[in-house]
């Protein structure tokens, strides 16, 4: 779960010296009066809904994770920075892991001249500074390691690339609650990690109201429109997994291989900034080809993007095949201000669902509904999948009434993908496409 929490850092220690002032004005700004209207009862309800199964206990004193039932009781401990520590390297996304202990990281730093860290202990605190350094602390505020964002590879996401230090994977079923300037990520009431963005509101970039222009290097073609209701409740899309690309774009590098993925997704994006975050937000169920953890195959994941600050995705679901029918669904619950996002392969019985929930930060008004083909594989037709039909769009408000966009915008990035023949067939019928599916083609 991702939750952003209240308050300021009071007395952050760095090299034994206490800072008595808050970390930044941005930290205070996002914990404003508007945020305080979020009732504790709603927060409790959200966390209780997430507690559907019990996470097994591990008999190790060092694995110190917290059970969370009310985020209002959580506070950020004093953070003890250690400037004498050498920088670590983060080459892949940061993932919380139950079996990773603080001593594992301490030993790694002590025995390696260039330690590579990708797993963090449950309860970790991840602090992004304005100076471009990400520091990870244990649950008590003791520094585990620090890494320079600029030295971390850029990770392709379905909304642009971000340094590996700003991309997170979390278990499917996690809940994401935003409150103030801190993000608390928990799973079945177990606190996975907290993320603090020192300069969130000053460093974030605003997405263009035209979604495809927010990252012209990866958006290939798409379609979007604004729902006619100011209280969007459901956005559902079905699509068929296309034939595999002829080739995957994989580039050998020192220590491994870079996999350049292809994404097909429907999503909801704020028009401008989220009023709660002060930055854009995008939620999306995603069909993926050739990710780092699932190379040369199709997989499913649900993603959330917070401006240019951070992104996270649910556990990837593998076993997806060409010809399968995918469901991408985003549903809003007004009582708890919660969006539930899921991606499911409806053709395979018993396959897990890639899902998470976002609480409080993502509005259900002043948003765009979107469908996109995105590729990091480059301007080469052999790296592109076959034709992809999208159909059975459902866009309704909180009263259950149809609120499909009255006008739509087609977005083709022909200047970037000049070697491809881009086309979205039947676009004039979108989103009423039951008899006339949208068909995305590139050749």
Q: What is the pTM of this model?
A: 0.84
Domain boundaries of the chain, sorted by first residue: 12-203, 211-441
Residue identified by tokens 């009434």 is 401
Q: Give the chain's mean pLDDT.
A: 83
The pLDDT tens digits for 90-120 are 989 999 999 999 999 999 988 887 788 999 9
* 295-311 pLDDT, tens digit each: 999 999 999 998 878 89
* Residue pair 253/259 in contact by the 8 Å Cβ criterion: no
- In sequence order, what are the beta bridge partners of 373? 221, 264
CB within 8 Å of 403: residues ≥ 6 apart:
227, 228, 229, 232, 395, 396, 397
Q: What is the pLDDT of residue 320?
A: 98
**Cross-strand partners of 331:** 234, 340
What distance in Å separates the CA atoms of residue 338 and residue 45, rounded to the nearest whole number?
11
Residue 360: what pLDDT?
87
Return the higher-pLDDT residue of 349 and 205: 349
Which residues neighbour 145 within 8 Å (Cβ) at sequence distance 6 or greater? Answer: 85, 87, 88, 105, 109, 115, 117, 135, 136
Nearest to 248 by CA among 257, 259, 240, 256: 259
pLDDT value of residue 288: 98
State yes or no: pLDDT of 32 exceeds 90. no
Model confidence at 176, pLDDT cuts 50, 70, 90, reads confident
Question: Is residue 200 a contact partner of residue 279, using CB atoms and an 8 Å limit?
Answer: yes
Q: Which CATH number fits domain 211-441: 2.60.120, 1.10.3470, 3.40.50, 1.10.150?
A: 2.60.120
The reported pLDDT for the residue numbered 69 is 58
pLDDT value at residue 53? 37
What pLDDT score was predicted for residue 70?
64
Residue 385: partners with Cβ closer than 8 Å, 6 or more residues away: 242, 243, 244, 245, 262, 264, 289
Q: What is the pLDDT of residue 96?
A: 94
| 443: its two tokens | 């050749």
Distances (CA, A) of 213 to 103, 223, 275, 363: 44, 12, 21, 22
pLDDT of 389 reads 97
CA–CA dist 181, 406 (Å, integer): 36
Q: Which residue has the higher pLDDT, 60 or 181?
A: 181
Q: From residue 279, how far is each of 181, 282, 296, 366 by CA, in Å?
A: 12, 10, 34, 13
Residue 420 has pLDDT above 90, yes or no: yes
Specify the range with the lowest mean pLDDT, choosing from 213-217, 275-279, 369-373, 409-413. 213-217
What pLDDT score does 185 carry?
Answer: 85
Q: What burial class does residue 1 get, using C-beta atoms within 10 Å of its C-beta: 0-12 exposed, 13-18 middle, 19+ buried? A: buried
| Rounded average pLDDT over 344-362 | 95
């Amino acid at each position: 779960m991702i939750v952003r929490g209240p308050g300021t850092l009071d007395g952050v220690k760095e090299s034994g010296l206490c800072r008595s002032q808050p970390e930044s004005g941005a930290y205070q700004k996002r914990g404003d009066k508007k945020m305080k209207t979020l009732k504790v009862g709603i927060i409790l309800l959200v966390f209780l809904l997430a507690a559907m199964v019990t996470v097994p206990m591990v008999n190790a004193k060092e694995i110190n994770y917290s059970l969370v039932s009310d985020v209002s009781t959580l506070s950020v401990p004093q953070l003890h920075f250690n400037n004498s520590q050498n920088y670590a390297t983060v080459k892949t996304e940061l993932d919380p892991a139950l079996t990773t202990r603080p001593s594992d990281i301490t030993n790694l730093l002590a025995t390696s001249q260039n330690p590579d860290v990708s797993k963090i202990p449950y309860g970790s605190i991840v602090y992004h500074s304005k100076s471009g350094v990400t520091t990870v602390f244990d649950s008590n505020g003791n520094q585990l390691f620090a890494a320079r964002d600029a030295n971390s590879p850029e990770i392709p996401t379905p909304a642009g690339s971000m340094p590996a230090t700003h991309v997170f994977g979390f278990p499917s079923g996690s809940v994401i609650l935003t409150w103030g300037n801190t993000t608390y990520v928990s799973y079945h009431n177990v606190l996975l990690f907290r993320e603090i963005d020192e300069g969130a509101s000053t460093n974030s970039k605003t997405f263009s109201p035209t979604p495809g222009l927010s990252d012209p290097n990866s958006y290939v073609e798409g379609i979007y429109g604004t729902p006619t209701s100011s209280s969007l409740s459901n956005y559902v899309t079905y699509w068929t997994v296309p034939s595999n690309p002829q080739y995957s774009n994989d580039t050998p590098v020192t220590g491994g291989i870079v996999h350049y993925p292809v994404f097909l997704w429907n999503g909801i994006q704020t028009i401008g900034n989220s009023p709660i975050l002060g930055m854009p937000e995008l939620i999306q169920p995603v069909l993926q080809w050739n990710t780092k953890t699932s190379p040369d195959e199709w997989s499913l994941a649900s993603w959330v993007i917070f401006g240019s600050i951070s992104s996270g995705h649910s556990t990837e679901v593998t076993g997806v095949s060409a010809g399968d029918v995918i469901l991408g669904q985003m549903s809003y619950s007004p009582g708890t201000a919660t969006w539930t996002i899921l991606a499911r392969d409806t053709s395979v019985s018993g396959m897990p669902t890639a899902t998470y929930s976002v609480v409080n930060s993502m509005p259900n008004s002043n948003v765009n509904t979107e469908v996109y083909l995105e590729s990091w594989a480059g301007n080469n037709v052999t790296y592109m999948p076959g034709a992809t039909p999208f159909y059975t769009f459902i866009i309704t408000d909180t009263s259950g009434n149809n609120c499909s966009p009255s006008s739509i915008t087609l977005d083709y990035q022909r200047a970037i993908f000049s070697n491809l023949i881009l086309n979205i067939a039947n676009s004039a019928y979108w989103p009423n496409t039951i008899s006339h599916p949208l068909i995305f083609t590139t050749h």
